A and B are shown apart, each in its own frame.
Chain A
Amino acid sequence: MPDRIFAAALAVVTLIYGALAFFVISAPFQYDPLGPEAWPRLLSVAMLLCLIGLLWRPATRDFDVDGPSWARLALVLALLVGYAVLFQPLGFILSTALFAAITSRLLGAAWPRAALFGVLIGAGGYLLCVGLLDLNLPAGPLPRL
């Protein structure tokens, strides 16, 4: 069943992809006989054939993720998105410290250790990457090194 759901979802995407290739993408003029549209057309057809094959004979029986796992995964996903949102405005040190502390707490570290981990990884990571290796990381409201 999960294979069928996946194949159906991918088929929808592929149909859109294919429709664009067949009806939208084209160049005003071109020097090769294929043009920008031939390759995507071929890919969309091949993909649809494969997906029909998968719909016909799915291989994976069940997705095997239980409730608590879904909850935890969703939470981690939310944390990652939050980290990405705050990465530039808050700067590396603050956003990383927050993300590291909350995530490690969520995954089982005790609060004091999680907080310590966050501070260490935020400040230490910044010093190491910007100070020593001269990488380009956002400073945020804190002064640049």
Chain B
Amino acid sequence: MMEVLSGLGTGFSVALTPFNLMLVLGGCFAGTLIGALPGIGPINGVAILLPIAYGLGFPPESALILLAGIYYGAEYGGRISSILLNVPGDAGAVMTTLDGNPMARNGQAGKALSLSAVASFVGGTVSVVLMSLFGPVLASFGVKFQPSDYVALMVFAFACLASLVGSSPVKTLIGALIGLMLATVGVDANTGVQRYSFGIPDLLAGIDFLIVVIGLFGMAELFHLVESQVRGRLSTVPIDKSFVTWADLARTKWTILRSSLIGFIIGVLPGTGASVASAVAYGTEKRMAGAGGANFGKGDIRGLAAPEAANNGSAGGALVPMLTLGIPGSGTTAILLGALLMFNVTPGPMLFAQRPEIAWGLIASMYIGNVALLVLNLPLVGLFARMLTIPQHYLTPLIAILAFIGIYSIVGNPFDLYMIIGLGVFGWILRKLDFALAPVILGFVLGSLFENNLRRALSISGGDWRILFSTVDSLVLYALAVAVVVVPIWLSRRSRRFAAVAEDE
């Protein structure tokens, strides 16, 4: 404990100089700008701005602090397009659109943006605190998680998603299956065999997650806007001056804390990230709300707070295996690892002993980055919310342009542009037929994780299926999965029975 405190002391003394404070604020601002482009989340944001940070010739700790600012800024920037335009910026932001965008359309854009900032702040802070206190212990838990445990985790995640079932269960299932089928395109990770790529080079590696998200959500939204405009169904949103209130925070405080924790734990596991974390947190909250959760998906503040807290929580959790073991568990940490390597800092078991000023400076800068984000973005909420007052005939092409910039600047492949247009048409048709799009995306994310880990587990056991039930972690997760599905049904039966009894009397 003393070690942690003195370490943090070192870190803060580095991070709190006026120059470094200025850097973290500047980083947050640049990050928010770049993160607002669909497709560019924290991962690509930091990757893109990394050489600039390097080129400025700052000392390593200052550069890392700048990057931490950019990272948090980009994380938040992605929420802006999710909430205002229904176009998720990156993987973790898909669940944010579910309630965030309805809130904006109900004239509560300001409230949604500010609540998202607060929930992100809490999620980020909780995970950094947990990371500094329990990092090494948690890291060894994370790597002990075996392929068979990932299978159980995916089953649990699917069970949580059962709560996403909308009006038509068959359509939800079809949606998820579409996602699962899309995920099988490309090289098979176990045997190296090609599946469904038809010799098209751009498909050899499979379809990128961002392309599916931007296509199905962003471009489909564009077609939807065009159609609504022709029919004159587009109601103008009044300029709203709404803001998050203490009452909102009081109502969501447990949601935020629970989701931060869920996000952090899922983030610690190598290979799972913000998308799984936010989906599980959303599903859990909806389940826990029970009958009171009828408003989820229509602009419930809990439905916005949960994924926002969770995806920031997972971002901190993902740093644990990287800093303590030198294993980049997810794409999120990969780039920070790159940044560290660029300054000849090799993260790993020896980092805290050899370069404490860097390790703790980075952790301290994450505390500060979180605060900076809140301080910087709350006053700007009103400005962002005004984006909705841009006339439709400018906003619609703007969505396409932003999506093109975001998708093209990542890999520079024009084929991806055709892909998002095609998926956009498909997504628009799905929307017209009352399919929910979130199950498609989640099927896509969870599908390959499930298949690869299942087959990995079975190659470990030599084909013995009992391996799937061989660890405590997996059994706990299966039990939770059953509970998540059964308990709400039981609760609603019971309340119905109570209601029936009450009527009898």
Contacts and interface: CB of A to CB of B under 8 A. Distances in A.
B195 interface: yes
Interface in B367-422: 391-394, 396-398, 400-401, 404-405, 408-409, 412, 414, 417-418, 421
Interface stretch (B152-160, B186-194, B301-309): B186-194
A14 B190 CA distance: 23
Interface string A118-145: 0001000100010011111110000000
Nearest to B410: A136
A25 B195 contact: yes
B466 interface: no
B421 A104 contact: no
Interface in B458-480: 458-459, 463
Interface in A39-53: 39-40, 43-44, 46-47, 50-51, 53
A43 B190 CA distance: 18
Given A59-B434, A133-B30, A36 B193 contact: yes
B231 A69 contact: yes
Interface residues of A, number: 68
A107 B421 contact: no
Interface string B2-46: 000000000000000000000000000010011001000000000
Would you call the interface of chain A mostly helix, strand, loop, or mixed? helix
B433 A104 contact: no
A131 B425 CA distance: 33
B456 interface: yes
Contacts of B425: 77
Contact of B405 (A10, A59, A76, A135): A135
Interface stretch (B81-89, B173-181, B317-325): B173-181
B35 to A, nearest CB: 11
Interface stretch (B222-230, B282-290, B328-336, B342-350): B222-230
B235 interface: no
Interface stretch (B48-56, B101-109, B205-213, B243-251): B48-56
A32 B458 CA distance: 5
B239 interface: no
A53 B170 contact: yes
A107 B398 contact: no
Interface in A7-51: 10, 14, 17, 20, 25-27, 30-36, 39-40, 43-44, 46-47, 50-51
Nearest to B168: A59
A59 to B, nearest CB: 5
A89 B401 CA distance: 16
B483 interface: no
A27 B459 CA distance: 15
Contact of B48 (A96, A114, A135): A135
Contacts of B456: 32
A137 B418 CA distance: 16
A13 to B, nearest CB: 9
Contact of A3 (B30, B222, B417, B433): B433
Contact of A50 (B177, B391, B417): B177
A133 B402 CA distance: 14
Contact of B394 (A36, A68, A84, A104): A104
Given A27-B191, A50-B174, A104-B393, A32 B455 contact: yes
Given A31-B190, A50-B173, A100-B397, A133 B168 contact: no
A84 B414 contact: yes
A84 B417 contact: yes
Nearest to A24: B195
A75 to B, nearest CB: 9
Given A73-B227, A77-B421, A77-B425, 10 more contacts: A2-B432, A2-B433, A6-B429, A32-B456, A32-B459, A35-B191, A81-B421, A88-B414, A104-B396, A136-B408
27 contacts: A6-B433, A10-B178, A25-B195, A26-B193, A27-B192, A31-B190, A36-B191, A40-B195, A44-B181, A46-B177, A63-B433, A69-B231, A73-B223, A73-B226, A76-B222, A77-B425, A84-B421, A87-B414, A96-B401, A100-B397, A104-B396, A104-B397, A107-B397, A108-B229, A114-B393, A117-B394, A136-B409
Interface of A: 2-3, 6, 10, 14, 17, 20, 25-27, 30-36, 39-40, 43-44, 46-47, 50-51, 53-54, 57, 59-60, 63-66, 68-69, 72-73, 76-77, 80-81, 83-84, 87-88, 92, 96, 99-100, 103-105, 107-109, 114, 117, 121, 125, 129, 132-138
